Amino acid sequence: MSENSEGGTAAEPRISDEPSKGLAKGAVGTVGLVVIGISTIAPAYTLTAALGPTAAEVGTHLPAIFLAGFVPMLLVALGYRELNNRMPDAGTTFTWSTRAFGPWLGWMGGWGLIAATVIVLSNLAAVATDFLFIMISQIVGDPSIAELTTNLWVNIPVTMAFLAAAVWISYRGVQTTMVFQYVLVAFQIIVLVWFSIAGFVHFGNGTAFDATAPSLEWFNPFGVADLTTFTAGVSLSIFIFWGWDVTLTMNEETKDPAKTPGRGSTITVLLILVLYMVIALSVISFAGVGTEGLGLGNPENQESIFAVLAGPIMGPFAILMSIAILTSSASSLQSTMVGPARTLLSMGFFKALPSAFGKISPRFKSPTVATFAAGAAAGVFYVVTRLLSENALWDTVTALGMMVCFYYGITALACVWWFRREFTQSVRNFVLMFLFPLIGGLTLLLMFIKTAIDSMDPGYGSGSSIGGLGLVFILGMAILLIGVAVMIYQAIRRPEFFRGKTLPMDR
Amino acid sequence: MKYVVGYTADRGGKLALDLASNLAYSTRDSADPVELDLVMVVRHESPFTVAGPGADPQGFEQILDTTLRQWADDALATIPAGVTGRVLIRAADSEAEGILAAADEVDARMIVVAPRSHGLGGSLGSVANALMHSSPVPVMLAVANSTPEEPTAPGPSRVTAFVGTKAGADAVAHVAAVTAQYHHLPLRIVSLLELDQARGQDAAQIAEARELIEDIAGRATLSSEVVVAPGRSLDEAIAGIEWRKHEIAMLGSSRLGGRTLFLGSTAHKVLRATPVPVVVVPRAPRTVPHASSGSETDPEPRTGAGSDSGSGRPTAGGQA
């Protein structure tokens, strides 16, 4: 009688699994991929955060800098795609650079990604908070409500609430439907186009604040005053394309993995470039780059440019811009939360961090400690920046640009190194595995160094400083040094990862 | 005979597994012992749930897979010798959907889950609630105060069916009878009467209840005992019932004590007040022929026929 059970035990495997369970295969077409790409970039949010600081650096050369910022992003993303195609089982800065360069550089690459995403989380939550109050003030017609966000006792708790909600949604693994995502993205684009057309109309009617006729010179990147300005501008504008590479690395999810990703990411970037150019032109021709009033160079306007300009340009419809930015930043908050959480998870899993970070929720199958840690880190970063800086959002975006340069640079060079024995095999390999990622990676790392040096100047960014050093420099270095300290601590306490036992170099 | 366990690698999952293991262990020498299929559900990811830089879907899935297999190994290690157990890892849109699909896939006769112990407002948590609303097979609820400490503890000693006075009682009584008959356990049929609102009708109600359950018990042709448990409230009615150690209670998914209640809150009350494992029987269980057919009290040939026929009976385990 009991043979029944014993026979069953021996005969069949005791675990029955489906490969690639969670991923939705073949579900995304070209249009879907473009929607995903635009949603990851979140143009309404990135523009409001980066347009002001970038214009403050480079003036009317905004379009040129936006274009220039895309080049290193493109070069690095192409290398990303090569790595992703070759190592599809594990693809992120931490695992790639560990496998190419070994544990120490890999660890710092992973830390750079976590730092960048955590910084952008804090910025997203803060922008969402600002526009929440702006929207409420527009609804009730009371401008004083929009000012509430400058009260730290209101601002910090609300920002923390946004972060907590994002952590909770991410932890519960709440899914977004296709229709919801399409609506969000379409709304965002419609509002941005509306805004730029309205800006041009004001310019044409002579009702612009500081009518500035567009000129071809705006597109000339060599017209920028000096290298410091140029670097600062490009490091800011990398941020506005950040996330685009996600479209390149989507494979199995697409209907035709051979064609959809290439087509989708190309269309995405063309649309985004056009959108950015049109808005940059419209904003400058309406407001100019002066440092007074609505001018883009006015430090008062740096926190979020659309908060200042939407009213004068769109009139009563400015509330649409508030809604677009609020939804854009809130949904981006969700999608951005995933990156640091999973990188922390991966680092915990491979014992590069305490193994608690490698825990997955039995109920929701999402990272637990890692998700909460990412949210908490973003909260701490925000509070520190908000208390230390005269203009937290501006400095946050600048620090973010620096971190993105750092980890993108490491990833691109990891690509070069990983493929070092293959790139001579064909012209295609030479270009995509060596030349492009090498140029892109070196450019970004040089930009990281240049930005770090420049940001020591107390006048850099918003002009906040501590002990004669620029706040952006202090924030950036503090983050990296904390990383080094944690890395050394872990290497002493649990050295398996650092001895190459859990995630060995494979070339 | 397959039981599906909705398994999560936490305290609730362990309760469900221990309870199911105990039932399976008590049938290890039977001709058709209970076999356990532990289901771990991974939710489908919508590609439109956009994930930003560093999200690394493939790398994450690799880590998730390794973790799931570790959980599976750990769970299988706790199943006592003599019991056949497997782990099914399945993707679905929700935990409950995954469990139901797996139950269908293996033609399970019972689903065992642990309700959320801190469900608010008498709720049992989304998974148990969803299962009780949509499961075609009986759902056994594992809670801390009624799950045996050890899977190898003695199996069930008696089956108790809670029946009301209205429609739906038949299904519960029937499943209970089948279970008791198959495992040679005594059967007890209890009617809960909530009497505070209709004092004048006490006598009539009790008579009605007695008539109904004697009818059911008569058809069950078992050594069955008929009890009417009155009380001013449901809690009071339940509190007056005596229990044996290692008993199994069954109740219908729609009505109890003659009054329509929200399923979750009734089940919650019974769960709280009942010191034995509780099985919630759907109103028309998929695997049970209609109760009025008369001769259904001899299920041996049909349950023995194996899992492919689909006409077998749900059973709640028992001692051979």
Which residues of A, range 234-253, sit inside 8 Å of B by Cβ?
A: 242-243, 245-246, 250, 253
Whether A280 shows a pLDDT value over 70: the answer reads yes
Q: How confident is the model at residue A507 (pLDDT cuts 50, 70, 90)?
A: low
In this structure, is residue A398 part of a structural domain?
A: yes
**What is the pLDDT, as a whole number, of residue B2?**
93
**What is the pLDDT, as a whole number, of residue B195?**
53
| A489: Cα within 13 Å, side-chain hemisphere | 8
In the DSSP assignment, the letter for residue A432 is I
More confident residue, B74 or A73: B74
**What is the pLDDT, as a whole number, of residue A3?**
36
Q: State the nearest Cα–Cα gap between B255 and chain A, in angstroms.
A: 30
| pTM of this structure | 0.88
Whether A7 shows a pLDDT value over 50: the answer reads no
More confident residue, A91 or A120: A120
pLDDT tens, residue by residue, B226-244: 777 777 777 777 888 888 8
Fold classification of B2-304 is Rossmann fold (3.40.50)
User: Is A507:A99 a contact under the CB 8 Å cutoff?
Assistant: yes
User: Is A63:A416 a contact under the CB 8 Å cutoff?
Assistant: no
Residue A365 and residue B43: Cβ atoms within 8 Å? yes
In this structure, is residue A9 part of a structural domain?
A: no
B207 to chain A, any CB pair closer than 8 A? The answer is no
Whether B65 shows a pLDDT value over 50: the answer reads yes
In this structure, the number of other CB atoms found within 10 A of the CB of residue A282 comes to 25
All residues at 6 or more sequence positions from B153 whose CB lies less than 8 Å from its CB, including other chains: B22, B246
Q: How confident is the model at residue B290 (pLDDT cuts 50, 70, 90)?
A: very low
Whether B320 shows a pLDDT value over 80: the answer reads no
Whether B269 shows a pLDDT value over 90: the answer reads no
Q: What is the mean pLDDT of chain A?
A: 89
* Degrees to nearest 5, angle at CA B154 with B153 and B159: 130
Report the alpha-carbon distance of residue B42 to residue A452 in Å, rounded.
44
Which residues of B, range 19-38, sit inside 8 Å of A by Cβ?
A: 28-31, 33, 35
Structure tokens at A22: 């969670």
Q: Average the pLDDT over A165-172 and give the result.
A: 95
User: H or E stretch including B129?
Assistant: helix B126-134
A331 to chain B, any CB pair closer than 8 A? The answer is yes
Whether A38 shows a pLDDT value over 90: the answer reads yes
**What is the pLDDT, as a whole number, of residue B97?**
94
In this structure, is residue A149 part of a structural domain?
A: yes
User: Is B70:A358 a contact under the CB 8 Å cutoff?
Assistant: no
Domain count, chain A: 1
User: Is B318:B183 a contact under the CB 8 Å cutoff?
Assistant: yes
Determine which of B50, B90, B97, B307 to mutate to test the interface with A (most A C-beta atoms within 10 Å).
B50
The SS3 call for residue B41 is strand
In this structure, is residue A4 part of a structural domain?
A: no
User: Is A155:A385 a contact under the CB 8 Å cutoff?
Assistant: no
* Degrees to nearest 5, angle at CA A430 with A428 and A434: 130
Q: State the nearest Cα–Cα gap between A336 and chain B, in angstroms.
A: 5
pLDDT tens, residue by residue, A225-235: 788 888 888 88
Q: Average the pLDDT over A377-402 and give the result.
A: 89
**What is the pLDDT, as a whole number, of residue B219?**
61
More confident residue, A301 or A490: A490
Residues from chain A that touch B35, judged by Cβ atoms under 8 A, are 5, 8
For residue A442, which of A79, A53, A88 has the smallest C-alpha distance?
A: A79
B283 to chain A, any CB pair closer than 8 A? The answer is no
pLDDT tens, residue by residue, B197-210: 545 556 666 666 66
Determine which of A3, A14, A30 to mutate to test the interface with B (most B C-beta atoms within 10 Å).
A14
* Range(s) of the domain holding residue A208: 29-499
A15 to chain B, any CB pair closer than 8 A? The answer is yes
Residue A90 and residue B46: Cβ atoms within 8 Å? no
Which residues of B, range 45-74, sit inside 8 Å of A by Cβ?
A: 45-69, 71-73
Q: State the nearest Cα–Cα gap between B287 and chain A, in angstroms.
A: 23
Residues from chain B that touch A364, judged by Cβ atoms under 8 A, are 43
In this structure, is residue A10 part of a structural domain?
A: no
Q: In whole angstroms, how large is the CA radius of gyration of chain B?
A: 20
In this structure, is residue A12 part of a structural domain?
A: no
Q: Average the pLDDT over B20-45 and give the result.
A: 91
The residue extents of the domains of chain B are: 2-304
Q: How confident is the model at residue A189 (pLDDT cuts 50, 70, 90)?
A: very high
Q: How confident is the model at residue A101 (pLDDT cuts 50, 70, 90)?
A: very high
Report the alpha-carbon distance of residue A504 to residue A492 in Å, rounded.
18
Report the alpha-carbon distance of residue B20 to residue B277 in Å, rounded.
10
- The complex's ipTM works out to 0.90
In this structure, is residue A225 part of a structural domain?
A: yes
When mean pLDDT is compared across A265-279, B15-29, B34-48, B261-275, the lowest value belongs to: B261-275
Q: How confident is the model at residue A4 (pLDDT cuts 50, 70, 90)?
A: very low
- Residue showing tokens 């035990």: A9
Whether B111 shows a pLDDT value over 80: the answer reads yes
**What is the pLDDT, as a whole number, of residue A198?**
96
pLDDT tens, residue by residue, B72-85: 999 999 999 999 99
In this structure, is residue A244 part of a structural domain?
A: yes
Report the alpha-carbon distance of residue A397 to residue A401 in Å, rounded.
6
**What is the pLDDT, as a whole number, of residue B118?**
57
Which residues of B, range 94-133, sit inside 8 Å of A by Cβ?
A: 95
Buried b (16+ CB within 10 A) or exposed e, B189-226: bbbbbbbeeeeeeeeebbebbbebbeebbebbebebeb
pLDDT tens, residue by residue, A127-143: 999 999 999 999 999 98
CATH code for position A77: 1.20.1740.10
pLDDT tens, residue by residue, A300-338: 887 788 989 999 999 999 999 999 999 999 999 999 999
More confident residue, B231 or A374: A374
More confident residue, A60 or B218: A60
Residue B68 and residue A342: Cβ atoms within 8 Å? no
- The partner residue sitting opposite B62, judged by closest CB among A6, A90, A243, is A90
For residue B87, which of B20, B140, B36 has the smallest C-alpha distance?
A: B36
